[in-house]
Amino acid sequence: MVLTGDSGVGKTTLARHVTAELPTGVRWVAGTESARSIPLGVFAHLVGPATSSDPVTYLAAARESLLADGDVVIGVDDAHLLDELSATLLHQLAIDRAVHIVATVRSGETVPDAVTSLWKDNHLTRITLSPFTKEQSVELVESVLGGQLEEHSANLMWEASGGNALFLRHLVDGARQADTLRQVNGVWQLRGRAAITSELASLLEGRIEQLDGPVLGALKYLSLCEPLDIDVLSELAGEEAVEEAEIAGLVRITRDGRRLDVAFHHPLFGEVIRRRLGQVSSRRLRGRLVEALQSRPTNTPAERIRLADLAIESDVEIDLTLVRTAARDALNLAQTPLGERFARAALDEGGGLEEAELLARAVMWQGHPDEARDILARFSPDDLDEGRLVLWGNSIIGNTFWALGDADRADEILQLLTERVTHPALKPIVTGIASACALFENRIDEAITLSDTVLAESKVLPWAVEWAVFGGSLARAVAGRGAEVRALAEHSREVEVDGLLRFPTGFGETLALTLTGRLDDADVASGRFVSAAQTAQYLGWAMSGILVAAVELARGSCGSVTRRMEQTLAILDSGRFSDSWNFPAHIFLVQALSALGQADRAAAALAKAREKSGKHVAVFGPMLAIAAAWQAAAAGTVTPAVELAHSAAAAARAAGQFAVEAEALHTAARFGDEGVADRLAELAERIDGPLSDLYARHAAALRDGDAVELDLCSAAFEDSGVRLSAADSAAQASVLHDAADKRSATVASAAVANRLASECGGLRTPALISAAQPLPLTSREREIANLAAAGLSNKDIAQRLTVSVRTVEGHLFRAYTKLDVGDRAELAALLLKDARPQAH
């Protein structure tokens, strides 16, 4: 066989691995540039020195020498580098089928005709090796690291390596050596530029050193500014040099509208060339690039960012206006490290509050709120006019409330702004900020009112719109007014102020669609932010992950939620990031782990969430209580779980979070509470979307003991994509069918529950456990029996359920009698042998 493919895809590794398994010995040769000029040079160590100057005679002697040992396997690495006589010998051996041949050929190289004919004339089978897919690359890296690789880091590695196994290996080794690949909370994260090993650099430099001067010159420009307009690169380096680089496969040319862009065929070539450039030449080359780009129109944010990035490290004078504008552009595009770089440069060039505010936002978004506070503390509000006061207050409130978590201090600054700002164009910004603060302090009606006040005006500044939509969208979502959120989200998409501030608005829109049961639309909404996060820094990726997890949790994809939130929390724990993101991430993680029956891990996540509780995240209090109910249920304490769900519902109702109240009450119904149907019916009248109607139907069917209706509810939930609720509804139907001795209906409902539980990653909820254990016990007897079977003492059970030890003893006695068991060991054997729903 002949293995073909790009350098580094694993041709040689695979060939040697395959031949190592063969019972016969393998004779390996390798083509090289140095041996290419020597007839039969690569075979010299196998066939001995030339015995004749006649090529035909020498070829025959070499063939005879190779075949002297009988059954032979010849391995030829880099067969494209064989001299003509060696290629001819290999060709003859293949035609005669005198030996077995395994050869490797690098794609894109000039190959001797005798070697090409090996597969063209079907003498050998040709297998082309492609680079690894992203999934294969992740699997490889995780096997090397021995742990989970963050998806954002996986994307960066995939882009840098192109799936090339060799490059990927050296990328991982280089990153570990440079300490840019670290493990946080069990998740490996790549931070900073790609770092490559000196070994890989040497391999790539070998190819670079063969280049002509003009071609290398073109690649130097490209290494500092990629991609680059082909006309600009041709102007600087010459058209012929660019053409030669393309023919050599070093660069690729792609169309962007009417423009042709040049980029490296492989990103690591640029990294190697940059390493070879000295500081003086880098500054000079950047200066020439700046001059060439300045002679052309610079209209887009990307063009301004590129120009500023080159200018601040070039030998040309820095344009303060350009760099300040580029900093603003970078933050609008969620490129916070670039925003910080430009803002610092602008501040160093004599900038003032405007540049400091940009810098403060940039460092805050990167998890450094203390530094942001210190930057803004250089300015006294007493010295600022209204416009500058709003600019200062805009950032300092955002940093103080959401990043530092000091809601009281933020409210004091907000009050200062409210008292001093009177200008009609500026006052809506203050009102918009007040809406967002009211939302997170769980003053839902006030948040909506303040948001409406801003958005009702015909013309308001972009910052006012962004803050008002931020406050109004999530407030409407939890209030059950999700149908109104899409229009608000459209307002946000019309303005550009801060790329990462759009993510909270996206969370409001996604949660609104999820709570109303419009999961397909929620996928689309969250998907927009996932796409935006591909070009953002890692915080944007973490934020988009929380949006996706909200929908995945509603769909019951608990395994995916768990992995995604573990990665997200690893990011949020790597800096001092806003609890407004940390909190929902923990809530989703607790619920997903609990639904999978992993009570201890859920308890640990719940404890971490509670550590972060406070006025600044009060809006999530009812959701946290629902998560606590799920954890209690996973721990086997269903009665306290129902009580926690009711507490969550009461807190949500008091705050005006009616959609969350419905979620809490439906959670209680899924845990077996038959007394929530009336309130859910009332909520269905005031909450937007079809999901609340389904909740009410489900609760009513449970109250009425209507197994057929529960089956119908299960089907309706599944049609809506809400698989976790569908599984619970089917499981409850199975129990009722079994109690009525309807065998076939029991089997059918249990099969549905089992299928859905499996699709969701192995659910283990109270309803599914009950369906798996069709025993003649009351719900309280089952609860206590399960705890006893899990090894808890009577005293421990009594403390968990807040009952007396005597009550526990009584329930256990009745359970023993009904099940005809004599002790805890027999009880455990009966109850714990299979906790999955079965079609029995």
Range in 41-55, 433-447, 553-567, 669-683 with the lowest mean pLDDT: 41-55
Number of H helices, E strands in the chain: 44, 11
Total domains, the chain: 4
Cα–Cα distance between 63 and 100 in angstroms, integer? 14
Listed in sequence order, the residues at least 6 apart from 677 whose beta carbon sits closer than 8 Å to its beta carbon are: 669, 696, 699, 700, 702, 703
For the chain, the residue count is 840
Three-state DSSP class for residue 296: coil
Cα–Cα distance between 710 and 23 in angstroms, integer? 64
Cα–Cα distance between 340 and 346 in angstroms, integer? 10
Confidence class for position 416, pLDDT limits 50, 70, 90: very high
Give the range of the structural domain holding residue 804, as residue numbers without chain letter.
779-831
328-355 pLDDT, tens digit each: 999 998 899 999 999 999 999 888 999 9
Share of the chain above pLDDT 70, in %: 95
Of 311, 337, 364, the position where a domain reaches its end is 311
286 within domain boundaries: yes
Return the half-sphere exposure (C-beta side, CA atoms, 13 A cut-off) of residue 32.
8
Of 195, 222, 238, the position where a domain reaches its end is 195
* Domain identity same for 118 and 8: yes
* Domain identity same for 7 and 124: yes
* Domain identity same for 53 and 118: yes
* Domain identity same for 21 and 124: yes
Is the pLDDT reported for residue 832 higher than 60? no
Range in 604-613, 703-712, 798-807 with the lowest mean pLDDT: 798-807
Is the pLDDT reported for residue 834 higher than 50? no
150 within domain boundaries: yes
* Domain identity same for 143 and 116: no
pLDDT of residue 75: 86
Burial class (CB in 10 A: 0-12, 13-18, 19+), 780: middle
Range in 199-203, 451-455, 496-500, 654-658 with the lowest mean pLDDT: 199-203
Q: What is the largest CA-CA distance in the chain?
A: 106
579-617 pLDDT, tens digit each: 889 999 999 999 999 999 999 999 999 999 999 899 999
Interval 472-498 mean pLDDT: 91
* Domain identity same for 110 and 153: no
* Domain identity same for 212 and 271: yes
For residues 347 and 359, the answer to whether their CB atoms sit within 8 Å is yes
**How far from chain centre, in Å, is Cα 397?**
29
* Domain identity same for 246 and 166: no
pLDDT of residue 496: 81
Interval 436-457 mean pLDDT: 97
pLDDT of residue 66: 75
452-461 pLDDT, tens digit each: 999 999 889 9
Confidence class for position 839, pLDDT limits 50, 70, 90: very low
Reading the block at residue 808, the tokens are 């526990």
Interval 146-162 mean pLDDT: 87
* Domain identity same for 97 and 166: no
Question: Measured on CA atoms in the order 114, 116, 121, 122, is the torsion positive or negative?
Answer: positive
pTM reported for the whole predicted model: 0.82
More confident residue, 210 or 624: 624
DSSP H helices, 366-500, are 369-376, 386-398, 407-420, 427-440, 444-455, 462-479, 485-493
741 within domain boundaries: no
Interval 630-656 mean pLDDT: 96
709-718 pLDDT, tens digit each: 999 999 999 9
Listed in sequence order, the residues at least 6 apart from 483 whose beta carbon sits closer than 8 Å to its beta carbon are: 512, 516, 688, 689
CATH number at residue 283: 1.10.10
State the amino acid at position 578 in one-letter form. Answer: S
Cα–Cα distance between 545 and 691 in angstroms, integer? 23
378 within domain boundaries: no
46 within domain boundaries: yes
508-541 pLDDT, tens digit each: 999 999 999 999 999 999 998 887 776 657 888 8
Reading the block at residue 661, the tokens are 């109240």
Of 285, 311, 337, the position where a domain reaches its end is 311
CATH number at residue 59: 3.40.50.300
More confident residue, 116 or 207: 116
Confidence class for position 840, pLDDT limits 50, 70, 90: very low
Is the pLDDT reported for residue 803 higher than 90? no
* Domain identity same for 143 and 212: no
159 within domain boundaries: yes
More confident residue, 436 or 839: 436
475 within domain boundaries: no
Interval 789-808 mean pLDDT: 81
238-269 pLDDT, tens digit each: 999 999 989 888 889 998 888 899 998 887 88
Cα–Cα distance between 612 and 813 in angstroms, integer? 43
318 within domain boundaries: no
pLDDT of residue 47: 66
* Domain identity same for 96 and 28: yes
Of residues 434, 426, 422, the one with CA closest to residue 398: 434
pLDDT of residue 286: 95
* Domain identity same for 185 and 204: no
Write the secondary structure of 448-470 as one string of H (helix), E (strand) and C (coil).
HHHHHHHHCCCCCCHHHHHHHHH
282-322 pLDDT, tens digit each: 999 999 999 999 988 888 898 999 999 999 999 999 899 99
CATH number at residue 817: 1.10.10.10
